[in-house]
Amino acid sequence: MGCDGAHSTIRHLLNLPFAGATYDAFFMLADTDTNETLPADEMQLCPSEFGPLAIFPMSSTRRRIVATVPTAEDTAPSLDLVQKILAQRGPKGIEARGVRWSSYFRVHHRQVAKLHVGRIFVAGDAAHIHSPIGGQGMNTGLHDVWNLAWKLDLVLHGHSREQLLDTYDAERLPVIKSVIDMTHFMTRALATPSRIAQAVRDTVIPLVSHIAPVQQGIVERLSQLGIAYTGSPIVEGAGKRCFDDSMCGGTGICSRFLLLLGEEASGATREAAGNFCASLHDLLELRISRRPGITLVRPDGYIAYADSNNHPESTFESIRSLLDRQMHQK
């Protein structure tokens, strides 16, 4: 697995093109001591015709300042520069008092067209890079390996066909593209020179960002908790992450699937579910859940199949056929 960063040797050796482009502007980053004007649990994204500014809280008096600059002056951004950028683009009242660490860097938005060649895989910055506005890079890489690890485990232990590994590309490439599109859009929108676009942005965003569903959507998007593998060949339905207490505890589900059975299930359904899981005991663990109906959860916590219609027999048949598509019995 090539998890060897943006300059990935593995990617070069595989001859995987890294399609995309480089932003014209330089980015600067400075971990800065500040006054306590801004809340310590909020980040600020500040649009400006001079370029975007993002302020991330590190503590009540320290912040990470990320901004675009036309050129890199000196070897590293100075306190003077940080103060100038905050005065030019930042919220009122914030003061920079000292710079702990700072650096310039160039930013690209690029991704590979495929995430594996034969048995060699790429993940993280080796496979995708984008603007740091939005803070998505590390999470996207972690999701890559989270998606792949259980599949590799099942294949290596002979529980699944190798074709299961193809679903790493099928599931992650659309997510990666959407992260790149979103961060590209945010970077451009925050720095647009167009007066009309600025007016729309500065009017619409403050209005809609107070609407609860919009806030929820933004949180889901930026936290990546809203990722769904809809359309994946190994998912039936929306493919959303399962948030359920019954997944916690025990010794962990390792690379097994979970069959969640709603508390309301009858004795006969519980018995049928028990027999069904026993027939696939290496792969499937049964847990009773407050979630109604029958739900198949993948080892990475995403829902592969959900049925709340209470037709246990047809549900078990569908789940068996879904698992058969990716597994082969020992």
> Among residues 3 and 286, whose Cβ is nearest to ligand FAD?
3
Q: By rule CB under 6 A, what count of residues binds ligand FAD?
A: 16
Which stretch, 4-12, 231-239, 265-273, 282-290, contacts ligand FAD (CB under 6 A)?
4-12
Cα–Cα distance measured from residue 105 to residue 175, given in angstroms and rounded to the nearest whole number: 25
Reduce the DSSP state of residue 173 to 3 states and report it: helix
Out of 44, 48, 83, 139, which residue is the one contacting ligand FAD (CB under 6 A)?
A: 139
Residue 125 lies near ligand FAD (rule: CB under 6 A): yes
- Build a one-symbol-per-residue string for 27-66: x at contacts with ligand FAD by CB under 6 A, - elsewhere: --x-------------------------------------
Cα separation, 151 vs 167, in Å, equals: 9
Output b/e per residue, 42-63; b: 16+ Cβ within 10 A.
eebbbbbebbbbbbbbeeeebb
Of 38-46, 138-146, 276-284, 316-324, which segment contacts ligand FAD by CB under 6 A?
Answer: 138-146
Residue 135 binds ligand FAD (CB under 6 A): yes
CB atoms within 10 A of CB 246: 18
CB-based contacts of 160, cutoff 8 Å, min separation 6: 151, 154, 326, 327, 328
* Strand (E) or helix (H) holding 285: strand 284-289
How many CA atoms lie less than 13 Å away from 111 in the CB half-sphere?
A: 23
* 223 lies in the binding site for ligand FAD (CB under 6 A): no
Q: Which residue is nearest to ligand FAD (CB)?
A: 124
> Which one of residues 138, 197, 199, 278 is an interface residue with ligand FAD (CB under 6 A)?
138
Contacts of residue 272, Cβ cutoff 8 Å, sequence gap at least 6: 312, 313, 316
Binding mask 75-114 for ligand FAD (x = CB under 6 A): ------------------------------x---------
Query: Between vectors from CA 111 to CA 72 and to CA 241, what angle results, nearest 5°?
Result: 115
Instruction: Please check whether residue 215 is in contact with residue 92, taking contact to mean a CB–CB distance below 8 angstroms.
Output: no
Say whether residue 9 binds ligand FAD (CB under 6 A): yes
| Residue 137 found at the interface with ligand FAD (CB under 6 A) | yes
Out of 51, 90, 132, 299, name the contact with ligand FAD by CB under 6 A.
132
Q: How far is the CB of 187 from ligand FAD (least distance, A)?
A: 13
CB 145 → ligand FAD: shortest distance, Å?
9
Nearest to ligand FAD of 101, 266 (CB atom): 101
Query: Closest approach of Cβ 214 to ligand FAD, in Å?
Result: 22
For ligand FAD, the closer CB: 225 or 288: 225
Q: For residue 228, what is the DSSP state?
A: B
3-state helix, strand, coil in the chain (%, to 5): 40, 25, 35
Rounded CA-CA distance 275/255 in Å is 20
Q: How far is the CB of 177 from ligand FAD (least distance, A)?
A: 16
List of residues contacting ligand FAD (CB under 6 A): 3-5, 9, 29, 105, 124-126, 132, 135-139, 141
